[in-house]
Chain A
Amino acid sequence: DVKVTQSSRYLVKRTGEKVFLECVQDMDHENMFWYRQDPGLGLRLIYFSYDVKMKEKGDIPEGYSVSREKKERFSLILESASTNQTSMYLCASSPGTLREQYFGPGTRLTVT
C-alpha cells in the first residue's frame, strides 16, 4: 500500500511565525503535491513537484514556499503565518503524469 505521512495532525501557531509542514511518501513516487482544503472552496493546489529540487506553482502559492531535497520528502513552508492560512493542509503523491494521487492524513493548522 502507498503510504503518505505528514508530520503533524494538528498544529497551532501564532501570526508571524514561520511554519514547516513535512510530508514523506514511501513509494518512490515522482510527483508530490500540497493542497489546502477549506469549506465551500474545495481542494486548492498550492505547489507541486515532479522531481527533486523542482517545483511548480499551483493556483494559490502566495505566502507559501516549498522544498524538495529528497525524492520522498516534500516540505511546505509558511514564511510568516497569517490567520487566513488557517486551514486543512493535504499532501499527496503520484507515480507519474496523469496518474492517481494518494493523500496523507492532513494537518489541521490554526493560526491565532
Chain B
Amino acid sequence: QKEVEQNSGPLSVPEGAIASLNCTYSDRVSQSFFWYRQYSGKSPELIMSIYSNGDKEDGRFTAQLNKASQYVSLLIRDSQPSDSATYLCAVNIRTGNQFYFGTGTSLTVIP
C-alpha cells in the first residue's frame, strides 16, 4: 500500500460546479496535510494546509480532514477553467520533516 493515494482521474466538471478531490494515507500518526496545485510544466503551488479534524475554508477552497478514516479531501466551489490542473495531496509520515506526495488527480473544468 502506498503511503498516500489519490485517484489519478481525469476528473471533469462543468464550470461553476463543485470539484471534489480525495486522498487517503496510511500512517495513523500523520499530523500535517497539504494540497498543492500543479499546472502542466510548472512546479507545485501550495493551496491549503490542514492540521486538525474538520473543515478549513479559504475562498473557493475547502479542505476536509478525517483522521479516524485517514482521508483528506479538497472541495473547489464554483470551479473555473483556470482551476484545470493536477492536484497533489501531501502528508507527513511518522514524525519529522519527511512528506509523501500522492501522484495527483488531474482536474479539467469544462467551460
Binding site for B on A (CB under 8 A): 31, 33, 35, 40-43, 45, 48, 50, 56, 58, 90, 94, 97-106
Contacts and interface: CB of A to CB of B under 8 A. Distances in A.
Nearest to B46: A100
Contacts of B101: 35, 42-43
Given A105-B42, A105-B43, A100 B96 contact: no
B26 interface: no
Interface of B: 31-32, 34, 36, 42-46, 49, 51, 88, 90, 92, 95-104
B92 A98 contact: yes
A106 B41 CA distance: 9
B97 A48 contact: yes
Contact of A42 (B45, B95, B103): B103
